[in-house]
Amino acid sequence: MKNLKLAGARPGGARSVIEVAGVRIGEGLVVIAGPCSVESEEQTLRTAVAVKEAGAAMLRGGAFKPRTSPYAFQGLGLKGLKILDKARRETGLPIVTEVIDTRDVSWVGEYADILQIGARNMQNFSLLREAGKSGKPILLKRGMHSTLEEWLNCAEYILAEGNDKVILCERGIRTFETYTRNTLDLSMIPAVRATSHLPILVDPSHGTGILGMIGPMSLAAVAAGVDGLEIEVHIDPASAQSDKDQQLDPAAFARLMDRLRRMRAFMDELGDEGTK
């Protein structure tokens, strides 16, 4: 691909490992789990403890929510970040949280271990530049209407600011299919591995929007060579203030983690011929 001076594949296919608070992304399988939104201290802390117990390496949770409707829950903002900070202190899990505004990058970065740039902001070039300048690890989700080349060029914006800590996340694209929330494009796993050195994660929660599909798609992503998963988990999904139909409860998440570990071990045994 043209113009990918920094995001493109490296000679010999060397892939980047991005270390965040002791977690190495790009090596093994890193699972980031937690609620769609931070709603309260109790909900976040209880979810954090549960996902840690099940083996998640990082906690996710939105304090700033990009919502389709301006009247929908927009997130707790600073209060939400403080709750995430408390959850990190209590569990030791590093925090992944979204930033949606250029003006917030530096102060949200004081709470986050990884700043997430969501699908709706993938091509917000000023936000990408600001994220690059922050020097924080950035989780860049694929825009719902974006090609691989457009996505990698957005990673290039961050890298071009001197920030080499970029992690990609496939979260589904909009197609003519309406049964699923999005069409999760698992072909992006080998595609990214062929065209870029950056780690690639998959978000099966937003990628399908359907509870029963999160397990199968996660296992398929591991079979395809994914570096990690971002999965929505809520202590009580039925009461969630956003995305309640796609959040696993802790018991379902723990069962999935067990299957993921076994799938990953099987893939290690098989070798990853064909995914590189």
Residue 173 or 260 with smaller CB distance to ligand PEP: 173
Residue keyed to tokens 């979810």:
47
**235 belongs to the binding site for ligand PEP (CB under 6 A):** no
| CB 209, CB 180: distance < 8 Å | yes
Task: Draw the binding track, 156-185, toward ligand PEP (x: CB under 6 A; -: no contact).
Answer: ---------------x--------------
Shortest reach from residue 238's CB to Mn ion, in Å: 15
119 near ligand PEP, rule: CB under 6 A: yes
CA separation for the pair 138, 152 (Å, rounded):
13
**80 binding ligand PEP? (CB under 6 A):** no
CB of 12 to Mn ion, least distance (A): 38
Q: Residue 145: count other Cβ atoms within 10 Å of its Cβ.
A: 12
18, β-bridge pairs? 25
Decide if residue 35 touches ligand PEP (CB under 6 A).
Answer: no
Q: Determine the interface stretch with ligand PEP among 87-95, 117-125, 130-138, 259-267 (rule: CB under 6 A).
A: 117-125
Residue 62 touches ligand PEP, criterion: CB under 6 A: yes
Per-residue string for binding with Mn ion, 196-235, x by CB under 5 A?
A: ----------------------------------------
| Residue 141 sits in the site that holds ligand PEP (CB under 6 A) | yes
CB 208 within 8 A of CB 247: no
| C-alpha closest to that of 217 among 195, 187, 238 | 187
The listed partner (Mn ion, ligand PEP, none) that binds 171, CB under 5 to 8 Å by sort, is ligand PEP
Instruction: Give CA separation, 130 vs 135, 149, 189, 229, in Å.
Output: 9, 21, 27, 25
Size of site (CB under 6 A) for ligand PEP: 11
CB of 90 to ligand PEP, least distance (A): 22
Residue 118 engages ligand PEP in binding (rule: CB under 6 A): yes
Which residues lie below 8 Å from residue 144, measured CB to CB, with a gap of 6+? 119, 120, 171, 172, 173, 174, 182
- Applying CB under 5 A, among 63, 181, 243, 248 the residue interacting with Mn ion is 243
Q: Which pair of tokens denotes residue 153?
A: 């060029």
The strand pairing partners of 167, in sequence order, are 139
151 Cβ neighbours under 8 A, 6+ residues apart: 122, 140, 142, 143, 168
Whole-angstrom distance, CA of residue 79 vs CA of residue 77:
5
Other C-beta atoms within 10 Å of 217: how many? Answer: 21
Binding residue for ligand PEP (CB under 6 A) from 23, 36, 202, 240? 36
Question: What residues make contact with Mn ion under the rule CB under 5 A?
Answer: 36, 243
Question: What residues make contact with ligand PEP under the rule CB under 6 A?
Answer: 36, 62, 66, 98, 118-120, 141, 171, 203, 206
